[in-house]
Every structure is written in C-alpha cells, then in structure tokens.
Chain A
C-alpha cells in the first residue's frame, strides 16, 4: 500500500479540488482509502458526498474550573497563570474558558483545592463511505487546538483500514501551511504532491513546505495550479524545481469549470472535460508511475 499526501505551502491553491480529482481518477484503477487531514476546514466532503458510517468523539485537553464555594479569592491562581485566563473577583475568581490552555498550573498551586481540571471534547472524527472509497475525516471544534493530534488519529484510522482491506493507495488531503498538522499529515507518506500557484509568494511558500517534507524524507513532486495566470512566476517555480531536482507532476491551467464543478459538488474530472481536467489526467498518470517505482 502506498501513501500519497497532497500539500500546499498556503491555503487557497486549489489543493482540495485537485485531491478530489485524483480520488476520482485513482478509484477507477485501484482500491483507495481517503483521509481528509485538513481538520480545521475539512472541505473534501463537499465534493465527495460521503455517507457517515461511524462517528467518534475526540478528546483534546482540559480546562480549569473554579468552585465558587471553595475559592477564597487569594489570587494565587491569577499570579501563576501565564495565559491571562483568570478573571479576578471580590468573593471568588473565575476562568476565561477561551483563554485557558489547560496547563493546570493553577490547579497545583491553589491552596484551597478550589480548582478542578475538566476534560474537553475538542472535536469528532468520522468514517464515511464515498463512491471512490472509504473516507476518514474530522471536525475540530472552533477555536480548539491539538489539530496535529487529531490529524494523526484520522490518518492512523485510515491507514489501519487500508492495510486491513489490502487497499492499494491511501490518499491524504493535507492541511495548508507548515505547522504541526502538516508535520502529522506528512509523516509516513511515500510521496508528497505539493500544489503551488504562480504568485509572488509561490516559490517562497513552496520552499517552506519542502522544508517539512525533506525533514521527513518524503520525496516530493510539484503540481503548478493556474499555471497560465502568471507565466513568468510559473517559470520561476519551474526553475526552482529544476535546481532542487524536484520533478513537476503537471501544470494545470486556469479554468473556470473547476469552480463550477465544486459548486455542483463534483470532482472536476467527473464533471466536464476541459483543459484543467485533461491536465489532471496527465498528472495522475505521472503520479501513478512515480508511486510504482
């Protein structure tokens, strides 16, 4: 079983539309398991029309809670809290739940044992069926942290099922950026497809995400999306890739049918033939070969 992760140095590069198209193309040739590792803004489900089969809670950290009966307003907790999460009062103190990082410093220092640490559900993860194969995805509740941990959870579950069922490919739609969820999403991948756009920050964004895949020893290929919007910048990305000896998996032209497909809840390759769909078919053929070796 091979594991392909799709990444982009920043959001809005069309990564999810590309992931959906690849899922569609791959599923006609091999057995596929899908994971949407963008748990902050899981969008893959919007084009894959999944039916949920399992739903599980995800526990993140804890939050401090002060019992008004026991608190004597001594102020020790406010002193030790480095996250400005304690709200002082005359008779008792309170916790600003949104600011609390759950470090428990106050819990250990309160002389009256007035503080409890309450575990919080930080999100949910799901297994769903789609017409291209089983999909693992998740939803991190707004404002929660630990997305790296949730990504790891989603990927592990997808991996287990893929191994169990003897699937050929695990396709992971990764989160944008370079932070800890990206690290979780790329760990263990056989190949990373990096989606880049020809913009002023394109090379810079690509360079940063490459630092992450290099770190994990994951070989990368680059797909240039909306390549014809700015040919000079596209050439800059290609020159950068040549210099770093990173193969180009494809160049997808700007094509408004991509958005139309998305609005209609379809992967572009399943929706209409056009320049973008064609380019993606070629890109998939390239990736299939690259994954084989």
Chain B
C-alpha cells in the first residue's frame, strides 16, 4: 500500500505525520515499512529518522549536446523545443539546461543527426535504512529549478515493483504544483495534514482539488495543532465528506521535540497507539487486511 502524506503548504506537520506513522508501524513489528522523502528541495525526514545511507546515485535528465562538425545551423532544434531551451545564434547552438525538460525532441528532429544526449546531473538519490525501515530520499542541487525528474526517478528506485503486504509512505513536497502531483500519482491513499486556520483551510482545498478531483485518489485529513484556530476545516471536511482520521492537539511539548528532531512517538509515547489507529483506519478504507 502506498500512502502519500501531503499538505497544501509547508510547516503543517506533514513530515511529522509521515515519520511517526512509519515509526509506529515499525515499532509494532508489522508490516515492512518504507519511508520515501519526496520533498527533494528540502528533505528533512532524515533529521528524525537518522538513517544510514548506503547507496548514492546521481540523477538528472538527458540534455542535448551538439556536434558542431555536423550541425548546419538550420535552427530546426530550436523550432521544435517547446521550452526555449535550445537556441541557434549565428554559428553557435546554445543549450539552457535549467529550461530543458529532457524530452529528446530536438535530437529526434535534427536532420543531420548532430545531437547526442548527455546526463545533466540535478541531484542525488540516497538510499539506506533506519533500523527496520527502508529509507530513501532525493536531494536537488541548489540552483536547480525542476524537482519533477528527481522525484520521478526516486519513486522508480525506492518503490519495489511488487509491494503487496508492505507499507510505503511518501512524504510529499508542500504546495500543489507539479512536484506534488508527481509524488501523489499512483498512490492508494493521500493523507492531508492541515492546520485548523484559514490559511490551512485555503491550502487544504487546493490540495484536495489535486488529489481527489484531478487524480481521483481517496483522501483523508489529519488536523494538526488542534485548538489553535477555528472550525473552518471541520466544517469543510463535513461538507465535502472528507474523513478526519486524526487530531493532534496544539502542544508546546510537540513543538519543542520537533525543534530538536525527536519523533513524537518517542517524546510522547501515547502517540504510538494513536498512529497505529491511524494506519488501521487507512488500511480499512483502502480495503487492505490488517494483521490483528
């Protein structure tokens, strides 16, 4: 089962929920858990999990490289590129890697066969273990603009093809743009972590639009810092028929543990059972049998 933990924006406690859900399951000894940090701009699940990273792989995408001995400067490559990532200026062909999507169209269309593709490294994938938990994260290099290719490759590497009976928890990036869509795609369930405030509600609505309305995935909500704001999120969920699966109260002890990188299930052991209950609820909704 693949569960994506998302939120309309950052700072709502998304990573906290992803990490503690995973830790609670692995403490209970069942089933095998993978945690994949898809927030490649700011991966921080590792701060709470302290994994040993055993494998490292550079990733990126293929960008064109022009052989000027063959090129006739006909300009066809620039004409077919939809992102203005390649330009022909006089006797030169310029490639802008930060705009290139690695689609390969220029290579296919060059009449002289003058283009080859080479890997433009955009970041790294790191894989390892945090105790019994299989852990993976992607890390985008500073100055890169596109996270999607890294997330795509991260998911391809970190999610086993046959994952029946395993739980894969994806910590999505904040927001509702492409990287979030890329993270959610193919999930069995999307868990939205939100704050009960007007900001939280605003962002939750947008995130639900993406997950439920566009991708057609089942969604449920975790309200974090319950007590901080108003009733707006509750009313919205009620109206939209979105289940609220867990409420985490506003508690300075949680904020303090967080600021030191201590997981909730360790700082406040009463949450162990609460996160297990959250898992059972999701499993029930997805129709997965849970070992008693």
Interface residues, chain A, with chain B CB atoms under 8 Å away:
9-13, 16, 40-41, 43, 46, 61-62, 80, 82-83, 98-99, 101-105, 108-109, 117, 140, 142-145, 147-148, 176-180, 183, 197-201, 205, 208, 211-212, 215, 229-230, 233, 256, 259, 262-263, 265
Given A98-B214, A143-B176: A265 touches B109 (CB 8 Å cut-off): no
Given A11-B174, A178-B41: A109 touches B198 (CB 8 Å cut-off): no
Residue B229 CB within 8 A of the other chain? yes
CB contacts (< 8 Å) of A198 on chain B: these are 259
Assess whether A9 is in contact with B143, with CB atoms less than 8 Å apart: no
Residue B146 CB within 8 A of the other chain? yes
Please measure, in the bound complex, the distance between the C-alpha atom of A12 and the C-alpha atom of B178, giving whole angstroms. 20
**Whole-angstrom distance between the Cβ of B100 and the nearest chain A Cβ:** 10
Pick the residue among B9, B109, B259 that contacts A12 (CB under 8 A). B9
Please measure, in the bound complex, the distance between the C-alpha atom of A98 and the C-alpha atom of B211, giving whole angstroms. 12
Assess whether A10 is in contact with B42, with CB atoms less than 8 Å apart: yes
CB contacts (< 8 Å) of B286 on chain A: these are none
Assess whether B178 is in contact with A143, with CB atoms less than 8 Å apart: yes
Please measure, in the bound complex, the distance between the C-alpha atom of A180 and the C-alpha atom of B47, giving whole angstroms. 25
Given A98-B215, A102-B82, A229-B255: A179 touches B147 (CB 8 Å cut-off): yes
Given A13-B11, A143-B181: A215 touches B143 (CB 8 Å cut-off): yes
Please measure, in the bound complex, the distance between the C-alpha atom of A254 and the C-alpha atom of B177, giving whole angstroms. 30
Kindly list 19 other residue pairs between chains A and B, CB separation below 8 angstroms, not including A40-B175, A104-B105, A215-B143: A13-B11, A41-B175, A41-B203, A46-B202, A82-B102, A98-B214, A104-B80, A104-B82, A105-B108, A108-B109, A143-B210, A176-B10, A177-B10, A197-B259, A199-B258, A200-B258, A233-B259, A256-B228, A263-B197
Pick the residue among A180, A230, A263 that contacts B229 (CB under 8 A). A263
Assess whether B47 is in contact with A201, with CB atoms less than 8 Å apart: yes
Please measure, in the bound complex, the distance between the C-alpha atom of A171 and the C-alpha atom of B79, giving whole angstroms. 38
**Whole-angstrom distance between the Cβ of A159 and the nearest chain B Cβ:** 22
CB contacts (< 8 Å) of A259 on chain B: these are 197, 228-229
CB contacts (< 8 Å) of A9 on chain B: these are 42
Please measure, in the bound complex, the distance between the C-alpha atom of A277 and the C-alpha atom of B197, giving whole angstroms. 19
Please measure, in the bound complex, the distance between the C-alpha atom of A177 and the C-alpha atom of B43, giving whole angstroms. 11
Assess whether A105 is in contact with B104, with CB atoms less than 8 Å apart: yes
CB contacts (< 8 Å) of A212 on chain B: these are 142-143
Chain B at the A interface: mostly helix, strand, loop or mixed? loop
Please measure, in the bound complex, the distance between the C-alpha atom of A98 and the C-alpha atom of B144, giving whole angstroms. 23
CB contacts (< 8 Å) of B255 on chain A: these are 229
Pick the residue among A101, A142, A262 that contacts B210 (CB under 8 A). A142
Please measure, in the bound complex, the distance between the C-alpha atom of A120 and the C-alpha atom of B101, giving whole angstroms. 18
Assess whether A43 is in contact with B259, with CB atoms less than 8 Å apart: no
Q: Which residue of A lies closest to B105 (CB)?
A: A105
CB contacts (< 8 Å) of B178 on chain A: these are 143-145
Assess whether A62 is in contact with B143, with CB atoms less than 8 Å apart: no
Residue B209 CB within 8 A of the other chain? yes
A-B contact pairs, 29 of them (CB 8 A): A10-B11, A41-B9, A41-B202, A43-B199, A46-B199, A46-B202, A80-B105, A98-B214, A99-B185, A108-B108, A109-B108, A142-B214, A143-B176, A143-B210, A147-B177, A176-B10, A177-B42, A180-B145, A199-B259, A200-B258, A200-B259, A201-B44, A208-B42, A212-B142, A215-B143, A230-B260, A259-B197, A259-B228, A262-B197
Identify which of A80, A142, A200, A265 gathers the most chain B CB atoms within 10 Å of its CB.
Answer: A142
Please measure, in the bound complex, the distance between the C-alpha atom of A287 and the C-alpha atom of B217, giving whole angstroms. 46
Residue B261 CB within 8 A of the other chain? yes
Please measure, in the bound complex, the distance between the C-alpha atom of A145 and the C-alpha atom of B210, giving whole angstroms. 13
Please measure, in the bound complex, the distance between the C-alpha atom of A13 and the C-alpha atom of B12, giving whole angstroms. 10
Please measure, in the bound complex, the distance between the C-alpha atom of A82 and the C-alpha atom of B102, giving whole angstroms. 8
Please measure, in the bound complex, the distance between the C-alpha atom of A259 and the C-alpha atom of B226, giving whole angstroms. 12
Please measure, in the bound complex, the distance between the C-alpha atom of A39 and the C-alpha atom of B176, giving whole angstroms. 10
Assess whether B142 is in contact with A12, with CB atoms less than 8 Å apart: no
In the A-B complex, list the 5 residue pairs whose CB atoms are closest, starting with the nearest.
A12-B11, A11-B10, A180-B145, A103-B103, A105-B105
CB contacts (< 8 Å) of B202 on chain A: these are 41, 43, 46
CB contacts (< 8 Å) of A215 on chain B: these are 143
Assess whether B145 is in contact with A108, with CB atoms less than 8 Å apart: no
Please measure, in the bound complex, the distance between the C-alpha atom of A265 and the C-alpha atom of B258, giving whole angstroms. 28
CB contacts (< 8 Å) of A99 on chain B: these are 185
Please measure, in the bound complex, the distance between the C-alpha atom of A40 and the C-alpha atom of B105, giving whole angstroms. 29
CB contacts (< 8 Å) of B203 on chain A: these are 41, 43
Assess whether B198 is in contact with A265, with CB atoms less than 8 Å apart: yes
**Whole-angstrom distance between the Cβ of B12 and the nearest chain A Cβ:** 6
Considering only residues 166-212 of chain B, those with a C-beta below 8 Å from chain A are 174-178, 180-181, 185, 197-199, 202-203, 206, 209-210
**Binary contact readout B66-83 vs A (1 if CB under 8 angstroms, 0 otherwise):** 000000000000001011
Q: Which residue of B lies closest to A176 (CB)?
A: B10
Residue B60 CB within 8 A of the other chain? no
CB contacts (< 8 Å) of B214 on chain A: these are 98, 142-143
CB contacts (< 8 Å) of B42 on chain A: these are 9-10, 177-178, 201, 205, 208
**Whole-angstrom distance between the Cβ of B226 and the nearest chain A Cβ:** 12
Residue B256 CB within 8 A of the other chain? yes
Q: Which residue of A lies closest to B44 (CB)?
A: A201
Pick the residue among B105, B147, B256, B261 that contacts A103 (CB under 8 A). B105
CB contacts (< 8 Å) of B230 on chain A: these are 263
Residue B8 CB within 8 A of the other chain? yes
